Structure formats: C-alpha cells, structure tokens
A and B are shown apart, each in its own frame.
Chain A
C-alpha cells in the first residue's frame, strides 16, 4: 500500500498561492525578491501571473510599497505585496492607518490590495525581528487580518479574500514552514469570511486558539480525546475581536475554557473573549500565553512550552 505523502505547511501555502495568483486578471504581485533567489524562502516560488499582470522585484522602500498598494487599489487595480518579514511592515504603519482611512472614507477605492507578510515566529532573532502579532497592526486601523494556520485556512482564507475588492493582511507563520500542515477537515461551523472556524464539537471543554496558536489547541484536543473527553475546538483566524456568540454558546455548555495565544503582544483580541466568557460564569478557565523571560530580547525560541498532561488533568477535575 502506497504511503500517503505528508504535505508541508509551506508547500501547501505556496501551492494555493500559485493557483490564486495565476487566476486573477491584471494582478500586480510585488515585493523584495518575489521572483529572485529563494523567492522569500519558497513563499513566492514559481509564481506566474496572466499576461495582463506583472511581477515586480521591488526596491527596499517598505513605507512606499504599502502606499503603492493603496494607490493601485484607489486606481481600481489589484495588488498583492509579499513581505519576507512582518517587522518590515512597521515602516508602513503611517500608510496602513492614515492612507487606508482616507481612501476607505472616500468610498472610491474599488480595487484590491492584499499584504502577505511572513510572521517570523520561530524566535532566535534576538532584539530585532521580534514582532509576531500582526493583530497589533490590524487593531490600529481596524484592518481585516487573517492568520493561516491549517489546511482549511489556506484554502478558504485565500479563496475568500485574495484579490477581492478592499484591503486586508493575510499572514503565514514561519515557525510552521517545515511542519506537516494540520488537516482538521471541514469545520462544523465557520463564518463566510473565515474569521473563525470550529473543528471539533464536544461538551467537556472549549478550546480556542488565536494568532498562530492553532497547533497547540489542536494537540490539546487530541490529548483530551485520548483521555476519553470530547472538547470543542475553535480557531480564530481574524486579528481583532469578532462576534463571540458561537464560542460563548459552547462555553455555556462546557463551563470550561482554554484560550491559547502565541503572540508576544500585550494587545490581544482574546482578552475580549475572556472577559465575555468570565462574565457568564466559568467552572474553569485556562489562559495559555507566550511567557517572556528576562532573556526575551536575546535569541531564544518563540515556541510555547505547554504541559498537556497537566492541562488535561485540570480539565478532568
């Protein structure tokens, strides 16, 4: 029997991107090294656009590259800016906030603009390159932002948003590049914009992941199942608070909530869910967040260390 070849996260992301990039008319794909060298470590490998479009290896001018995309959008064009590193987007914050506010207030921006940065969340970068929460960028101007964490995300988020009218940021996790992509299957529940999805349903605990923390929540779900429990597992792909009601419905049933957020930010969307859930009364809530040690500015791992056995025991009580 032929062994099923595992699919890596980066391969799947790149494969899906190749498909959507090649399907749009008049698409301008741009960024530093998008079609040179490693193609952003394989993120933009083998991209081709239709004859009506263009692929541009750009200058190193991040602020202007963001403004350029908004200009394309204002002119009715389609632009996709691929970035090697989320941190580079700091140079474009003025454009993300002020330019975006002006053009959406005008109501005349009919085109499409998507920024696709790689969130460098492996760690070991030292004092630079330390931003791993693009929710910070999104919250400043209420920007639509989506984190891609699993096979379903890749397909649905890109299909729903890439090249569509308006502006959004869609980010991928460098930490997961070489991992087998998690295939959670079709969700039990998901909104049409893929702001959240529910992949498991059960009455014993509600597990919710934010930012790029889905692998942690998924793993805990499997551990609970091994222990004979049935968890509800949600992933929130969207970067700013959403309507929590579908999750709160599960929380009312289970009375137990575990929230995962792997960001280093103190500006977290999950705080609003926790506040809402605590307001309805919980038997147990566990908040798993990236804890920063004294050495957090040094080159250290960004991975969260989670003792699943302990959490399973706590949830069994």
Chain B
C-alpha cells in the first residue's frame, strides 16, 4: 500500500470508528457525552501526519477524530466512553478531556478557549528546554470568539514561540450559526494585525492539508513564531426536527453532540456527496472501488476489534 492509500485508509478508519461509536450511542450504552466529528477526518489525519515526536497537540472537546488518529485503535477509546479501566485514560477522563500524552495529545479543553494559553505555555517550556518542537492547538469558530484566542496569539507572537493555532470553522456554535450570533471575523486580518502568518484550508483534500501543515510546522519551528490556520469543515449528522407551525419543513439542527440519529453504520461510510465529506473528497484521488474494498475490510476489522 502506498502513502496515498494509507492516508485514505486512515480517513476511512476514523469514519467507520465514529459510526460504530454512534451506534453505541444510539443504543444508550455510552456513559459520557461525546461530540462526534463526522466530517473532520481529513484535517485530523493531516494534523496527525504532521506531528513529530516532541510536538504537542491540544484538541477541543470535539477530539474524537484526533484521538482515533493518534491512538490508531478504537477499542481503548470506546472503553473510555464506557468508563472502563481498559479505557485510554482508564476511565478517568471520559470524552471531552480525553488525553494520550504518549501520542502527543497532552491537553484537551472542554471550556472554550482555555486551551490557547496552555499551548503558549507549553511552547515556552519547550523553548526554555531547547526543544525544536511545535504545539498545535485546536479551535472552533466558537472558541475564536473568546478573548483567550486573541490574548494567546498576542502572547505567542510577543514571546516568539512556535504554536500553530488551528481553527476548524464549521460555522456553528452548538445550535447557532455564525450569522445568527455575530458579525463575521476575518481571521486572516486578525492574524495579519499581529504579523502572524495565516493559511486557509478547504475542500477536505488530505494530501494538500498535509503538505500545507508540514510547511507551516517547519516555518513555525525554524522561525520560532506562531502561525494561524483556518480550515473549513462541515460537522456531518445534521437533521430536521418534525414539522411545526413555526418551521413547516422542520427546524434545521446542526449536529453538536450526542448520537447522530440519521447516520447509520454502513460498509461504505460516505454520508454526503460533496466536498463537505472527506470520504467523497477521497474519490477524487483514488478509485471508488478501491476505497470501497478498503472500507469493507476495515469495517470487518473494526467489528472484530470491539467484539
């Protein structure tokens, strides 16, 4: 299997793994609340591929895709959601603060924005210790509204420390769209005002993402400066509520947390036929039949893993 196919395999593994978690969720077997990240697989795999040994990764409460990518397995993560001693953190963390320090995930924040300054401190500790590493801290379009986002970018640039601020923009904060809650924020201008390099990623092309992130990592480490990346994502699993007088066609509900009732486990795990779905985006690079074959193989393997 070549590198391109390996990346595709990872994205499919993350998707089917999440679908299995979703089925467990629907069956009410999970002990904790989980924020699925269906649709976030391409960026999660790209970040995971970018990380080097001493790097730090600080995801948010929606960390499942990153944890699956770094752990390489479903069982310990599922066990953590069941709060079993065999869980990734022995049932001590649950979902929103799930960690894997041996595989670079050193902190996860369920509080919007708390992770940003922690990342700057980690980067400073690395700098003082003479490490040549980077700290990647995740955000959403909701958490960049927190003052800590601006404060931490300001601190990181003032202190000249290598941090990649990576904002996953899915245009929703819980059930509120950006245009329902605030004016637009041009993150590129915000970064520019602090003289921080900015990059925008879209299309769920994992190969382009990996190339861009590796370049940015190199720049951040070599120059000892922060960079800011915004990536467009769609958190899949949306649905419409039953019709009501106010919403005759049913109110549109973006997926936030809990089970995604309209997503079913399937051997071919594509949810949406558009670039919003990283599985669809893979079909531009690899024959669909090859992907389908791999999906069937992984479906069986994952079922076996959790049996």
Interface residues of A in 27-83 (CB under 8 A from B): 28, 52-54, 56, 58-59, 61, 63-77, 79
| Complex contacts, B124 vs chain A, CB 8 Å | 28, 68, 71-72, 75, 77
Assess whether A64 is in contact with B151, with CB atoms less than 8 Å apart: yes
A59 neighbours in B (Cβ, 8 Å): 151, 154-155, 158
Count of interface residues, chain B, beta-carbon cutoff 8 Å: 35
Cross-chain contact of A71 among B110, B122, B151 (Cβ < 8 A): B122
Structural contact, B125 and A72, CB atoms closer than 8 A: yes
Contact B116 A64 (CB under 8 A): yes
Taking a contact as CB atoms under 8 Å apart, the answer to whether B109 and A68 are in contact is no
Q: Does B122 lie within 8 Å of A72, measured CB to CB?
A: yes
Bound CA span A56–B159, Å: 9
A96-115 contact mask (Cβ, 8 Å, vs B): 1 or 0 = 00110011011010010000
A186 part of interface (Cβ distance < 8 Å): no
Q: Is B119 an interface residue (CB 8 A)?
A: yes
Cβ contact within 8 Å between B147 and A63:
yes
From the candidates A64, A99, A108, name the one contacting B106 in the complex (CB within 8 A).
A108
Majority SS at the chain A contact face: helix
A114 to B162, CA, bound (A): 24
Q: Report the interface size class on chain A.
A: 35 or more
Which B residues are CB-close (under 8 A) to A64? 116-117, 120, 148, 151-152, 155
Q: B148 to chain A: closest CB distance in Å?
A: 5
| B80 nearest CB across to chain A (Å) | 13
Cβ < 8 Å to A, chain B residues 125-162 = 125-126, 128-129, 147-148, 151-152, 154-155, 158-159
CB distance B151 to A63 under 8 Å? yes
Nearest CB on A from B144, distance (A):
14
Which chain B residue has the least Cβ–Cβ distance from A72?
B121
Query: How far is the CB of A88 from the nearest CB of chain B, in Å?
Result: 13
Question: A219 at interface (Cβ–Cβ under 8 A)?
Answer: no
Expressed in whole angstroms, the Cα–Cα distance for A52 and B127 within the complex equals 11
Contacting pair A106 B99 (CB below 8 A) = yes
Query: B155 and A99: CB pair below 8 A?
Result: no
What CA separation (Å) do A79 and B108 show in the bound complex?
A: 21
Contacts A67-B121, A99-B109, A106-B93 known; 4 new A-B pairs at CB < 8 A: A28-B128, A54-B128, A65-B117, A98-B110
Binding site for B on A (CB under 8 A): 26, 28, 52-54, 56, 58-59, 61, 63-77, 79, 94-95, 98-99, 102-103, 105-106, 108, 111
For the complex of A and B, list the 7 residue pairs with the smallest distance between their C-beta atoms, beginning with the closest.
A71-B121, A75-B125, A67-B117, A77-B125, A64-B117, A61-B151, A64-B151
